[in-house]
Copies of this chain bind each other. A is one copy, B any other.
Amino acid sequence: MTENTPDPAQNPLVVFTPSGKRGRFAVGTPILQAARSLGVDLDSVCGGRGICSKCQIQPGVGDFPKLGLHVTADALSPFNAVEERYDRIRGLKAGRRLGCQATVQGDIVVDVPAESQVHKQVIRKAASDRAMVMDPATRLAFVEVAEADMHSPTGSLERLREALAAQWQIGDVTLPPALLARLNPLLNKGKNRITLALYRQPDGSHDILDLWPDLHEGGLYGLAIDLGSTTIAGHLCDLTTGAVLASGGLMNPQIRFGEDLMSRVSYAMMNPGGAVEMTAAVQEALDDLARRLAEEAGVDTAAIYEAVVVCNPVMHHLALGIDPVDLGQAPFALTTSSAITLPATGLGMHLNPQARAYMLPLIAGHVGADAAAVALAEAPHKAEALTLIVDVGTNAEILLGNKEHVLACSSPTGPAFEGAQISSGQRAAPGAIERLEIDPVTKEPRFRVIGCDLWSDAADFAAQVPQVTGICGSGIIEAVAEMRMSGLVDASGLIGSAEATGTPRCRPTGRTHEYLIFDGSASGGPVITVTQADIRAIQLAKSALYAGARLLMDEIGTDTVERIVLAGAFGAHISPKHAMVLGMIPDAPLEAVVSAGNAAGTGARMALHSVAARREIEAQVHRITKVETAISPRFQEHFVAANAIPHATAPFATLRSIAPLPDPSFNAGGGGDGENGGRRRRRAR
């Protein structure tokens, strides 16, 4: 049937586009069969029975000089009864044929349209959405099973296996015992025709996750979840198309056990049963999120067959019910670092009873599956330019490298960037200040809130924004950076007095000052200020972030990077200029800094939609050099030096050429407010 066959006249040439794959096939060979034998990506649910219409193709007619082919109109068999019936009932686009019905009659060029490809790329509109390569672990397969024969008595499952081998070339199929009871009733109902949801294992074997009588074309859905220390974000996706049907998030309820990871590890160490309590809390939240997303999308949770979860090592262990106590002390022994597939119920999620959960591999004791997901999404190992990727969260994941070499570390930034530990902080939600500017002369602020495109000094603003509620993560970054650029805060992070700054908005509170952004008290709303404690929290967070990046740069002996990617749940919303004014990231030309959105979440979606992506990151993590921040003396040095805004010693020359960085000093005494450097990260013990 291939080009080796002697008589070309009896074995016309079939060329598939866009793949370019080609081969000779006997006259009468269905196009679907030719595609399969060449490994051409042509979809089919019904396995070639003219039922599902997934295998539509577009034959080309005429001259194809590049291919040296002249294709005549009779190169394919004529439209047959199955196609006519399908066209009449459901409609076929002009020129389209069903690949399982049209047979080879002469040399032919066959185009496989994007919607007929299994591994189709789905292009999303929103900037933060990535083209998804579809190669899902779970897919539908329709089979026709031989009738039971008393004289050759095998079980229905055995006849189903034979049918899968013959019709789908799929061997080694397992039907979970819990589904056995449904097999015969469904075969009886569907007159021995049945549709399966098949889950492909890494070893090529398949598990049956669900089954329906006759042809079933309903949806298969999956969840991609970024399980952070402070927030849990999830996407409900269509496993066939890659479409995101619902997105949402909620606070990690473990916050009540400790705001950062190490305080949760401490909680587990100090309280018998503490780890179990935290596991229950996070599993309940995962289940809750799944239910909410399903409700929003109008999807039955029982139609969700897969969940991919990315998270840092402590969240990973707690989600799995593993006491994270060993992660609180050197050598930070992970219980398992490999990618893990388990029943979704193992994470407390009540999806389809057979649903699988996949957790990406961990990179090291403090560098988690979230970092692996960022690596999958941003692929530093494929980059030409030396790229620094900073995934901002309560625990930041930092990657540095290019195709030569990739390093990774994590840094305990704390929850300030997520609006926690900030006096007027809140999570990103309508009413939260997300952008802020301060006039360098008048020192008056103006801002924008989530849910409205107007600035606060616009005439319509009050009418359109019923309530200003607080400041979210990107808002506080801009607020502190703008205060620094407008001279309200000095390099050490002190807020000046009204006298020193020339604005009554800088007002005393206790021994320090705060800057008034918005006073809603007249209408019963909040008074929103940036306090000295807020500045300190941001300084601690940004120092940790910078110190981690700097440690990786030390490792490969560089002072500059060529490209900076800001990622994180709110990564798309961080202003590169303001991030650099704060000194969150190293000095670099602004155009070299890009926002990647929630890279960990994107990586989770990529893994949800593609087993090839899972295999890629499983292989890749072994090639990443892990750098441990918790025990590095240099990390401590970098952390202290990075406390200043933007930095005590690094010149930030590029930044200074584009942003005003006035140099007041509000430290009257010398001991300052006593806070600077007085607080230390707690981590290793």
* C-alpha gap A309/B178 in the complex (Å): 17
> Which residues of chain A in 335-355 are interfacial with respect to chain B, using CB atoms and an 8 Å cutoff?
335-338, 340, 342-343, 346
B362/A155 in contact, CB under 8 A:
yes
A336 close to B150 (CB less than 8 A) = no
Within 8 Å of chain B (Cβ to Cβ): is A156?
Answer: yes
Nearest CB of chain B from residue A347's CB, rounded to whole Å: 9
Are B346 and A178 closer than 8 Å at their CB atoms? yes
Q: What chain B residues lie within 8 Å of A153 (beta carbons)? A: 331-332, 334, 337, 363-365, 626, 628
Tell me the count of chain A residues lying within 8 A, CB to CB, of chain B.
Answer: 45
For the A-B complex with A150-B330, A156-B333, A184-B322 known, give 12 more contacts whose Cβ atoms are closer than 8 Å.
Answer: A150-B331, A150-B365, A151-B628, A153-B364, A155-B338, A156-B335, A177-B321, A177-B346, A183-B335, A183-B336, A184-B323, A184-B326
A320 with B150: CB separation less than 8 A:
no
Are A333 and B184 touching (Cβ within 8 A)? Answer: yes
Contact status A335-B177, CB under 8 Å? no
Q: List 18 A-B contacts (CB under 8 A).
A: A147-B331, A148-B331, A150-B332, A153-B331, A153-B332, A153-B334, A153-B363, A153-B628, A155-B334, A155-B362, A156-B334, A157-B335, A177-B343, A177-B346, A180-B335, A181-B323, A184-B326, A184-B333
Task: Decide yes or no whether A149 CB sits under 8 A from chain B.
Answer: yes
Q: Is A154 an interface residue (CB 8 A)?
A: yes
Q: Quick one: which of A177, A181, A320 has the most chain B CB within 10 A?
A: A177
Residues of B within 8 A of A154 (CB): 334, 337
Across the interface, name the chain B residue whose C-beta is closest to A176. B342
Is there a chain B Cβ closer than 8 Å to A270's Cβ? Answer: no
**Residues of A that sit less than 8 Å from B by CB:** 147-151, 153-158, 175, 177-178, 180-181, 183-185, 188, 320-323, 326, 330-338, 340, 342-343, 346, 362-365, 626, 628, 631
- Please state if A180 and B320 are interface contacts (CB–CB under 8 Å): yes
B contact residues around A158 at 8 Å (CB): 336-338
Q: Which residues of B contact A331 (CB under 8 A)?
A: 147-150, 153
Q: A377 to B395, alpha carbons, bound, how many Å?
A: 62
> In the bound complex, how far is the Cα of B331 from the Cα of A330, in angstroms?
65
- In the bound complex, what is the Cα–Cα distance between A41 and B181 (angstroms)? 42
Neighbouring B residues of A631 by C-beta, 8 Å: 150
Closest to A343 in B: B177
- Contact check, A340 vs B177: say whether CB atoms are below 8 A apart: yes
CA distance A649 to B363 in the complex (A): 81
- Tell me the bound Cα distance from A156 to B337 in angstroms: 8
Check A337 against B181 for contact (C-beta < 8 Å). Answer: no
Q: Closest 3 interchain pairs by CB?
A: A148-B333, A155-B337, A153-B364
Given the complex of chains A and B, what is the CA–CA distance between A180 and B316 in angstroms?
A: 12
A177 touches B365 (CB 8 A): no
Known: A184-B333, A336-B155. A177 touches B362 (CB 8 A): no
Least CB distance from A172 to B in Å reads 9
Instruction: With both chains docked as a complex, state the minimum distance between the C-beta of A367 and any C-beta of chain B, in angstroms.
Output: 8
Task: For A175, list chain B residues within 8 Å (CB).
Answer: 336
Q: How far is the CB of A396 from chain B (nearest CB, A)?
A: 18
B residues in contact with A184, CB < 8 Å:
322-323, 326, 333, 335
Instruction: From the candidates B149, B156, B188, B364, name the one contacting A336 in the complex (CB within 8 A).
Output: B156
Shortest beta-carbon distance, A160 to chain B, in Å? 9
Q: Please indicate the chain B residues that have their CB under 8 angstroms from the CB of A180 in the complex.
A: 320-322, 335-336
A330 to chain B, nearest CB (A): 6
Residue of B nearest to A323 (CB): B181
Whole-angstrom distance between the alpha carbons of A183 and B365 in the complex?
A: 16
Q: Check A181/B150 contact, CB under 8 A, given A155-B362, A157-B336, A336-B158.
A: no
**A177 neighbours in B (Cβ, 8 Å):** 320-321, 340, 342-343, 346
Looking at A157, A175, A330, which has the most chain B CB atoms within 10 Å of its CB? A157
A156–B154 Cα distance when bound, in Å, is 44
Residues in chain B near residue A335, CB distance under 8 A: 155-157, 180-181, 183-184
In the assembled complex, the CB of A147 is this many whole angstroms from the nearest CB of chain B, namely 8
Known: A178-B346, A331-B149, A365-B150. A185 touches B336 (CB 8 A): no
Residues from chain B with Cβ under 8 Å of A342 in the complex: 177
Interface centre among A147, A181, A346, A364 (most CB of B within 10 A): A181
Q: How far apart are the CA atoms of A335 and B631 in the complex, in Å?
A: 59
A188 CB contacts on chain B under 8 angstroms = 326
**Bound Cα distance A333, B343 (Å):** 31
Most chain B CB within 10 A, of A183, A188, A332, A333, is at A333
Complex CA–CA separation, A660 to B183 (angstroms): 55
**Central interface residue in A175, A322, A330, A626, by most chain B CB within 10 Å:** A322
| Contact call B150/A628, Cβ cutoff below 8 A | yes
For residue A205, give the distance in angstroms from its CB to the closest CB of chain B.
9
A515 to chain B, nearest CB (A): 43
Bound Cα distance A147, B332 (Å)? 11
Q: Give bound CA distance, A178 to B346, whole Å.
A: 8
CB–CB A338/B156 < 8 A: no
CA distance A333 to B330 in the complex (A): 60
Taken together as a complex, chains A and B put the C-alpha atoms of A554 and B306 apart, in Å, by 55
**Please, which residues of chain B bring their CB within 8 A of the CB of A334?**
148, 153-156
Residue of B nearest to A149 (CB): B331
Residue of B whose beta carbon sits closest to that of A334: B155
Q: How far is the CA of A20 from the CA of B580 in the complex (A)?
A: 77
* Bound: A153/B334 CA distance, A: 8
